[in-house]
């Protein structure tokens, strides 16, 4: 599985999402060395995370830094799951086309507005593989109306989420997988995410009804 973790704007949680998907896959029994975290993020967050882990003698799934000109497909060879942390164009044009694109979005106004940009992406891969992942959901937030508005605008929202929990930030700062931060809620969220990704890979998406991402801006959300 090639999973692109990229959101519509900076700081939306893409790197944390990639680390959490990795943790969730491990939680679901995937061997860490079968997972590659391919870091194309603007701030090299995952590479720095890996460096901290190394300094503390901790083991993470392998992290490779991708830079323009690198052969992403060559880096990905031999891995069962590749988690691309980076801007969408990495998966464009066949370099490493994602099977699934997870876009973390905080279910609050301004972050949601930027979703329109995902519609304008020049990624030419098959449509219907983009899933918005509610991310940094505030405690007790009721976000059903947000979900409905997004769906009415043609976005598919994944049935998983991560709440706003300091344990996510601490895990990365400590060079740990989020599931190793000692927070049971984070562990449960990561496991759900890992299960979702594995379930996605097991399903023949071509048999699914077309979930086209339409070409207009999300007007309902802009009003
Ligand atoms: N679920 C969460 N709960 C609390 N804090 C979070 C969560 N997810 C991410 N964060 C924090 O939000 C900030 C941005 O996260 P992250 O670096 O993953 O975003 P990004 O989209 O990769 O940013 P960049 O544009 O730098 O690539 C970080 O401080 C991170 O610790
Ligand atoms: Mg990042």
The pLDDT value given to residue 211:
38
Question: How many angstroms separate the alpha carbon of residue 124 from the centre of ligand 1?
Answer: 27
The pLDDT value given to residue 217:
35
pLDDT tens for the chain, 223 residues long, are 999 999 888 899 999 999 999 999 999 999 999 999 999 999 999 999 999 999 999 999 999 999 888 888 999 999 999 999 987 666 665 678 888 989 999 998 777 887 876 665 545 454 578 899 999 998 877 788 889 988 888 888 999 999 999 999 999 999 999 999 999 999 999 999 999 999 998 865 544 433 333 333 334 433 2
Residues with Cβ within 8 Å of 216's Cβ and at least 6 positions away in sequence, in order, are 119, 154
CA proximity to 132, closest of 109, 113, 145, 151: 151
The pLDDT value given to residue 127:
53
Question: How many angstroms separate the alpha carbon of residue 46 from the centre of ligand 2?
Answer: 7
Domains and CATH numbers, the chain: 2-222 (3.40.50.300)
Q: Check the CA dihedral 186-160-157-209 and report its sign.
A: positive
Question: How many angstroms separate the alpha carbon of residue 136 from the centre of ligand 1?
Answer: 9
- φ/ψ of 197, rounded to 5, equals -65, -45
The pLDDT value given to residue 90:
64
DSSP of 160-180: ---B--HHHHHHHHTT--GGG
Please choose from 5, 6, 9, 13 the residue to mutate so as to test ligand 1's pocket, defined by most ligand atoms within 8 A of CB.
13
Residue 18 alpha carbon, nearest atom of ligand 1:
18
């Amino acid at each position: 599985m090639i999973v692109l973790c990229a959101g519509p704007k900076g700081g939306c949680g893409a790197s944390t999402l990639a680390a959490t998907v990795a943790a969730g896959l491990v939680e679901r029994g995937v061997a860490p060395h079968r997972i590659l975290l391919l870091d194309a993020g603007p701030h090299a967050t995952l590479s720095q995370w890996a460096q901290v882990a190394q300094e503390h003698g901790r083991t993470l799934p392998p992290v490779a830094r991708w830079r323009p000109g690198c052969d992403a497909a060559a880096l990905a060879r031999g891995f069962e799951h590749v988690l691309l942390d980076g801007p969408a164009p990495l998966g464009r044009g066949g370099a490493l086309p994602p099977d699934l694109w997870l876009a973390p979005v905080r279910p609050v106004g301004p972050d949601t507005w930027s979703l329109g940009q995902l519609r304008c992406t020049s990624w030419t891969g098959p449509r219907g593989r983009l899933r918005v992942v509610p991310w940094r959901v505030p405690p007790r937030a009721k976000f059903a109306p947000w979900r409905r508005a997004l769906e009415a605008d043609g976005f598919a929202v994944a049935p998983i989420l991560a709440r706003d929990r300091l344990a996510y930030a601490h895990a990365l700062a400590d060079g740990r997988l989020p599931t190793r931060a000692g927070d049971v809620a984070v562990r449960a969220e990561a496991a759900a995410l890992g299960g979702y990704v594995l379930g996605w890979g097991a399903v023949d998406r071509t048999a699914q009804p077309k979930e086209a991402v339409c070409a207009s801006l999300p007007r309902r959300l802009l009003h």
